[in-house]
Copies of this chain bind each other. A is one copy, B any other.
């Protein structure tokens, strides 16, 4: 029997390596790395994503990848398994949600069940306190929407881009931005971006083309 191929998308080497090692002993699964936008992809059975708290982009990404990998299953794989994030992820087309806290046997089991067609959520409850189920910026009093919009600002999108990405009117986007600015104590987009950078809103982004050079 050929192993189930698990692809990790756009995540850090530490995570990719860790997953590979956690699954290394089991011949039923096999881990590959996947970087968006780098030409012809392999054809994995399961694609693991970390949306890093920004789930709106996720829907689009999944839709796009699904075109290339029709039979694939798309699963959010994140440190943050906040209930609302889980729900949003499933609503936007994810086939499952796995916490990065999940260990070997349970993880393999979940992956196999996902491959079999189940929708699996593991890690939905916060088990042990540390790093509670917060989206980034939650402790600054940001609502999920505000954090989301801030995350997109931190990624360099324009208001219009954010509106398109989130399926919102540009006026709503502005409203969230203003309200977020007030909460994090900034006045300009530039400051908001720096705040985002310093608070972990910045995704690892191998898909961003380094210009020039």
Contacts and interface: CB of A to CB of B under 8 A. Distances in A.
Contact of A156 (B103, B139, B155, B190): B190
Contacts of A195: 207, 211
A200 B14 contact: no
A153 interface: yes
Interface string A72-103: 00000001101100000000000000001101
Contact of A194 (B17, B101, B156, B213): B156
A167 B95 CA distance: 47
Interface string A157-172: 1100000000000000
A13 B17 contact: no
The complex is assembled from copies of this chain, and their number is: 2
Interface string A135-176: 000011100000000000101111000000000000000000
Interface string A51-85: 01110000000000000000000000001101100
Contact of A200 (B79, B202, B209): B79
B213 A140 contact: yes
